[in-house]
Chain A
């Protein structure tokens, strides 16, 4: 059962990483245009270099 000492902090940390990532996406308006994002990924406009 000693393994729990490592496993529990690891699972909590990973959950925390997910939560922080989600909060980041909400803060940076990434859910404002879901349909547009779904379409943009299909366009090859900025495939070779990022949008300046």
Chain B
């Protein structure tokens, strides 16, 4: 999986949405799940398993290479934190996964169920085909009848078991007086069985047992492909959620204890270390620090925090440890209230009808009418109900949507697989079709087009001696701006000045003494500098005028390429951000984006996307923050990076696993190609029907012709889908 997820994000606010997982009682023997993004061969498996088994308390360790995970059965007091250093020592990156969030993958009952039905249909159809081939190659009289009876004995129970998903779907559609693709399928299967039984009882020549079974087999194969693609996406998405184990440190009578976020109550004292996210809404009781609110508001400027400041779940504590008193937990947090916006926006999404549904709407009534007409026609013409029923069954079997059933899943499986290798996860079944229609792309700024890490921009303007002092001060702190300053200064070949008595004052900056003078690096008001709209750190040496260090958010890799490629393919690119106008304009100019909107509130973003939609545009929204969530849900289709908040990932159709943005333009191209292939597949299926149906209506179709036509069309459609790779 992706390696860029910050392991420091100890408590993800979005995970508060799933309190059931955290509240689950811990079993006697702890199951620890670890994500191992770096493993790839048999030596890795052996190394990891050996290293884990050597840790005292571990009972069993098993690596799953397909999912790049390790499951460890261990004594209850063993923690993942004890195992991760062991693996890092032998050179494997490891992250803890929340077993609660993964449980759905382990109990993959639906997939296993489909596979079982597919297997039964496959084995039965092979046996029946064997008998049918003997009939077609000339078995007559008693032998033929016996073969037909044996076929019936295999087919009836096999169909009763394996075609159940179709029966259920057809019944649920008919109950609300609607038609779906499964209604003609069920009708064809049932009619084929009834006429075949009737023919066999009267020692007739033609029986369609093999057709009914192969039909079921091919359609189940399509269903299974469809299911597998979505299950793979779901399990990877689950893994992203599980990476953020929802824990918080509660202070009780002065002692620290680690508890699940769901166990927190209003009034609890919670310790939030630097680098961690606020698990709940609250008020700061003690400690000074700076807060990064970018995921909630899109603002990149850190906000000063001191006792009395209100904090919201999801904000990141940057410098000093903070103790907060919880004022709202779980469902009541401001983070959660934002979810209401999403619910409203999402209602528009369900209006999209997929290509398969559109085809079914045209196809299902057409087939029924055609089959009924041939029944009536032949009954009037020959006066024989048996002939008429036989021909009606042949028409239904020949027109049956074998190729239609495979047309969509075969293509989406191929396209999703291709995009997954490029680092994109297709979460929604119709996401590709919707992506192909996009003509306008709306980007969020902070965390999406930018990486969320600052870059020093005015290094050449600063005197080397000032840089040396600033470097010495910056290296005493882990604040993101200090880290960026130190990195830039080191890269420029600066050596730190000899600053003594270094101390970090959380929330303000770093202070030290140089040749008897007090030197400070930090916030504007602390060093006595004017306020600025840009992200700026100030250096004050003694009583001299403060020196400004200006930062901009660095671009995410691939952002420029993605924007250029999207514009080249004729799409409008728009930038909407909650940040200040200067910051947004600077970025828009750099990337060549003409339309930009700054200081947008979450509602504004969603409203703007809605306006564009009302004007007839199909909008792709790319965003990562909580302030984007409503817009993500309102857009025609949406993409979020893996580093996004859980809520944003849930609201989007596609998740970008890597840090690189360039696959976005590629995904649009693949989606367009995939939609083209789907349409081609529908055309192939139609052409084959145009050729075969007149034969069936004329009463010339035999079971052999039906079997041949069905197999060829299904295989052609699958091969056409494979061309996408």
Contact = CB atoms under 8 A, between A and B. Distances in A.
Contact of A36 (B65, B115, B116): B65
A36 B45 contact: yes
Nearest to A41: B42
Contact of A42 (B42, B64, B123, B150): B42
Interface string A19-36: 100110010000111111
A22 B119 contact: yes
A36 B64 contact: yes
A33 B66 contact: yes
Given A42-B42, A43-B42, A12 B127 contact: yes
Interface in B30-56: 41-43, 45-46
A35 B119 contact: no
Contact of B46 (A4, A19, A32, A43): A43
Given A42-B42, A43-B42, A45-B46, A19 B66 contact: no
B63 interface: yes
Given A33-B64, A34-B66, A39 B41 contact: yes
B66 A36 contact: yes
A11 B124 CA distance: 12
Contact of B119 (A8, A19, A32): A19
Interface residues on B, range: 20 to 34
Contact of A18 (B45, B123, B154): B123
Contacts of B43: 43
B42 A23 contact: no
B94 to A, nearest CB: 17
A22 to B, nearest CB: 5
A4 B115 CA distance: 32
A34 B43 CA distance: 16
Contact of A26 (B66, B112, B123): B112
Interface string B108-126: 0000100110011001001
A22 B67 CA distance: 23
A23 to B, nearest CB: 7
A36 B69 CA distance: 11
A49 B146 CA distance: 52
Contacts of B126: 15
B722 to A, nearest CB: 20
A26 B65 contact: no
A23 B162 CA distance: 14
Given A8-B150, A11-B127, A45-B46, A33 B119 contact: no
A39 B66 contact: no
B130 interface: yes
B417 to A, nearest CB: 14
B151 to A, nearest CB: 11
A36 B127 contact: no
B123 A33 contact: no
A19 B194 CA distance: 26
B42 A32 contact: no
B143 interface: yes
A45 B120 CA distance: 36
Contacts of B65: 33, 35-36, 39
Indicate the member of B63, B66, B115, B126 with the most A CB atoms within 10 Å.
B66
A8 to B, nearest CB: 6
Nearest to B123: A19
Contacts of A32: 64, 66
A10 B273 CA distance: 71
Contacts of A22: 119, 123
Contacts of A18: 123
Contacts of B127: 11-12, 15
A43 B63 CA distance: 14
A31 to B, nearest CB: 8
Q: Which of A1, A11, A34, A39 has the most CB of B within 10 A?
A: A39
A40 B119 contact: no
Nearest to B41: A39
B239 to A, nearest CB: 15
Contacts of B45: 36, 39-40, 43
A26 B64 contact: no
A33 B70 CA distance: 11
Nearest to B112: A26
Contact of B116 (A1, A8, A23, A42): A23
Contact of A11 (B116, B119, B130): B130
Which residue, of B45, B64, B115, has the highest number of chain A Cβ atoms within 10 A?
Answer: B45
A12 B150 CA distance: 10
A39 B120 CA distance: 29
Contacts of B63: 36
Nearest to B131: A8
Contacts of B115: 26, 31
Nearest to A8: B150
Nearest to A43: B42
A35 to B, nearest CB: 4
A39 B42 contact: yes
A8 B116 CA distance: 24
Contacts of B64: 32-33, 36
B119 A26 contact: yes
Contacts of B67: 33
B532 to A, nearest CB: 53
A9 to B, nearest CB: 10
Contacts of B150: 8, 12
A44 to B, nearest CB: 9
B152 to A, nearest CB: 13
A19 B41 CA distance: 32
B119 A23 contact: yes
A1 B127 CA distance: 19
Contacts of B143: 1, 4
A40 B130 CA distance: 37
A13 B43 CA distance: 42
Contacts of A1: 143
Contacts of A34: 66
A40 B42 contact: yes
Contacts of B120: 19
A26 to B, nearest CB: 6
A35 B42 contact: no
Contacts of A31: 115
B463 to A, nearest CB: 57
Interface of B: 41-43, 45-46, 63-67, 112, 115-116, 119-120, 123, 126-127, 130, 143, 146, 150, 154
18 contacts: A4-B143, A12-B127, A15-B123, A19-B123, A22-B119, A23-B116, A31-B115, A33-B64, A35-B65, A36-B45, A36-B63, A36-B64, A36-B66, A39-B41, A39-B42, A39-B45, A39-B65, A43-B43
Given A19-B119, A33-B67, 12 more contacts: A1-B143, A8-B150, A15-B126, A15-B127, A22-B119, A22-B123, A31-B115, A32-B64, A33-B65, A35-B66, A36-B65, A39-B65
Lowest 5 A-B CB distances belong to which pairs? A36-B65, A39-B42, A43-B42, A35-B66, A35-B65
Interface of A: 1, 4, 8, 11-12, 15, 18-19, 22-23, 26, 31-36, 39-40, 42-43, 45
